[in-house]
Amino acid sequence: MVAAAARHEEFQPTEESLQAMANLLVASRVRAALVADEKTTSVDVGVKVEDGVVQLKGNVRPGSMVESITRVIGEVEGVRRVDRQGLDEPDSHS
């Protein structure tokens, strides 16, 4: 029954669902890369991906850590660009 239902058109992947899965895959890779790197393992930032663009949100202390975060994320397969606008970098505002 389940196999037959899965063949129905309403259960087939769409362009939107495939893109959503691709975004989730890249976001998972980004989170894993941040944890695996010794400089960024304790970083707690929100990660959202849309079409290969990683949007970060959260507080980063020290602010100099942003460069390490950006470096690690930039090496992840599927990342086209890193958007850091959502990061609060308190000690980088002089």
Query: What is the rounded distance in angstroms from the CA atom of residue 6 to the CA atom of residue 82?
Result: 37
Domain residue spans of the chain = 46-94
For 12, half-sphere exposure in the C-beta direction (CA atoms, 13 angstrom radius) is: 5
Residue 2 has pLDDT above 80, yes or no: no
- Which tens digit of pLDDT belongs to each residue from 4-50? 777 888 888 899 999 999 999 999 999 999 999 999 999 999 999 99
- For the record, the structure tokens of 64 come out as 């100099």
Alpha helices in 10-59 (DSSP H): 15-36
Question: What pLDDT was estimated at residue 79?
Answer: 98
Do residues 35 and 64 touch, judged by C-beta distance below 8 A?
no
Question: What pLDDT was estimated at residue 12?
Answer: 87
- Which tens digit of pLDDT belongs to each residue from 51-74? 999 999 999 988 789 999 999 999
